[in-house]
Structure 1
């Protein structure tokens, strides 16, 4: 049975951070009620046009800052999802939150409503880093939020961290990791800072006000993190993600696994993307335009809605390439030879044989039984490996 995932984009922020290029907006919180109504309308329309009552095993509130929504709005969105789709009883329901925007009462309420995974944007434990990133919290806010989340009944907490920040030393990065580990999260996501076009960071680097990221320092920080997290019992299951085995389960992010396995998901909200039935969709990015488009019901073919701005049909070769690039991010699982053949009715070697052989010879890929995986060196050069699967003609 094919199971689906739902991504719910909440594009509101109190302040847009200097490094962020996500589809987020500050100063538009007055539009939240109308936006929630539009989001629910979009969910209902897709539910009505779906070929059947789709089974859903993960939901993800991303942003932006979903924790800016009133708890009642979270409840209404979840109620709409449950009415429109077959949300499975054990579904993983994640919500991104910024420390400093939460209260214990709010956390208790959303936990009762069914949210069972919390992802906190910690980023760093040090005020110097947080000021440069223009984050609106400090480490006390993070530790307090984790304490409140535990009291509210959350057993699945992720912390996001950023490394390779200008002027960040290896010692400061180690201290951030130690403080994060001291809160015993089930999951950690570690991202190297990237300078995205049109962000304040981009302009600061271009004007010489900040040094560009140092790839060698970032690689050293990445290796240090892997060593520290492994020593603390965490398993690196994806290039940027670590999970701990606790209470008989490995606390991986099931929603992100849907992306990495290139399985179907529906995207709702301003700027949200989806992938279903060999079709990629992208919604209009503007909050006001999104709200306006969803004010008039329309009977469009599944999975389109009035908010859909772009579509792209994915041909079989492209889907195979994307499956390789995404699947190889999974450091333990990699790409399964059997799963690939069942999905595409062709063997991996038939489609990508010379590319795989070359990358194996370079020490970037290796076969582990029936699974093709990145080597330790390959993890540091992941983008190079992935690009090798792009420039391939149909065999």
Structure 2
């Protein structure tokens, strides 16, 4: 069945204006004790991980994992690899931001066993980067990618965003074309969502956030979904494009019902019929691990309907869609016996298409995925 491991590093140099992830700037004094506590959790979970079987994927995310001092991060990865059963061909990903890595750091990541690098570029326009609170410049982003390739990374992903303040269609085209010149194996492009609790949300409430109009955002979407496949990047998920064979195995696990165990503050876990998360407070997480207090919370035993909902709308994010046989195996009933009305309704609107084995979004459905997903919620 497979297993994914997620390690959360909740630190960053500066909080980006759009970010609602559990990440914190100005916590440098907690980095070393956090690394110690996380190593203790890894040790604590080792028996469970042995029972679950070797991990297929490891994903170290944040925050900005490369905001950690190299020594702290290298010890963490070393502890994980010594303690946890990981397959020899496992995909081991780490998120990095330009401006937080140099050649020494990148070489060390490879030596630690990291074999996939996800670089948070977001834009190659300095004005836009400043407008969204990024700490790097376009030049630094290009240099970081070049250093990663020079260090020996053969599996490199770049994150870009569209619908950003001050961004026009030509700005996005320039960023995508610059990314193409750097020849990554994978590209993720996310539309801006203004989330509660962010600086952008506060600016929007005051009428101070100037975003592109809907027609421009739609033109950006149309451009990237046509341009990238023309350059050989297969769209395998709503926001993700990859050269064949370079899809994110870890993220595909999220969308295809693969169990995963999260470690670190705010890390989430899913084990088929249950899920939970660790406390999000860095200080509380460290203290709880060190003193043996509980740090797991929001434990939930999923009912059958919730499992069905999530199985469907997560699978529909992928271009392959819902595997009807997998649904039958998991729930012991054909998908049509549960969702026939929703499926036929979305097919009539040209948002879904059905084959013998799969139900998937059409090109139009990819654009209006949330409309389809709502139909699969009881």
* Pair in the same fold by TM > 0.5: yes
TM-score (norm 1): 0.93
Judging changes above 3 Å, is the alpha-carbon distance between structure 1 residues 311 and 216 closer, same or farther for their aligned structure 2 residues? Answer: farther
Give the alignment of 1:1-395 within 5 angstroms.
Answer: 2-49=1-48, 52=51, 54-212=53-211, 214-245=213-244, 250-297=245-292, 306-331=294-319, 333-390=320-377, 392=378
SS of the equivalent of 1:251 reads coil
1:353 positional shift = 1.1
Judging changes above 3 Å, is the alpha-carbon distance between structure 1 residues 154 and 297 closer, same or farther for their aligned structure 2 residues? Answer: same
SS of the equivalent of 1:134 reads coil
The question of whether the paired residues in 2 share the 8 Å contact of 1:6 and 1:58 is answered with yes
Structure 1 Cα separation of the partners of residues 221 and 371 of structure 2? 17
1:188 positional shift = 0.3
The question of whether the paired residues in 2 share the 8 Å contact of 1:92 and 1:116 is answered with yes
Greater mean alpha carbon deviation, residues 131-140 or residues 49-58: 49-58
1:216 positional shift = 3.0
SS of the equivalent of 2:197 reads coil
The question of whether the paired residues in 2 share the 8 Å contact of 1:7 and 1:265 is answered with yes
Unaligned residue ranges in structure 2 (runs of 5+): none
Structure 2 Cα separation of the partners of residues 12 and 363 of structure 1? 43
1:51 positional shift = 7.0
Measured against aligned partners, the alpha-carbon deviations of 1:126-161 in whole angstroms (never above 9, x if no partner) come to 111111101111111111111111111100011000
Measured against aligned partners, the alpha-carbon deviations of 1:234-293 in whole angstroms (never above 9, x if no partner) come to 100000000013xxxx20000000101121001111111110141111111111000001
Structure 2 Cα separation of the partners of residues 19 and 297 of structure 1? 35
Q: Give 4+ residue runs of structure 1 displaced > 6 Å after superposition.
A: none
1:212 positional shift = 4.7
SS of the equivalent of 1:290 reads helix
1:230 positional shift = 1.2
SS of the equivalent of 1:294 reads helix
1:50 positional shift = 5.0
Structure 1 Cα separation of the partners of residues 62 and 50 of structure 2? 29
TM-score (norm 2): 0.97
The question of whether the paired residues in 1 share the 8 Å contact of 2:257 and 2:272 is answered with no
Structure 1 Cα separation of the partners of residues 38 and 362 of structure 2? 42
Measured against aligned partners, the alpha-carbon deviations of 1:167-206 in whole angstroms (never above 9, x if no partner) come to 2111111111100111000000000011111211111111
Unaligned residue ranges in structure 1 (runs of 5+): 299-305
SS of the equivalent of 1:373 reads strand
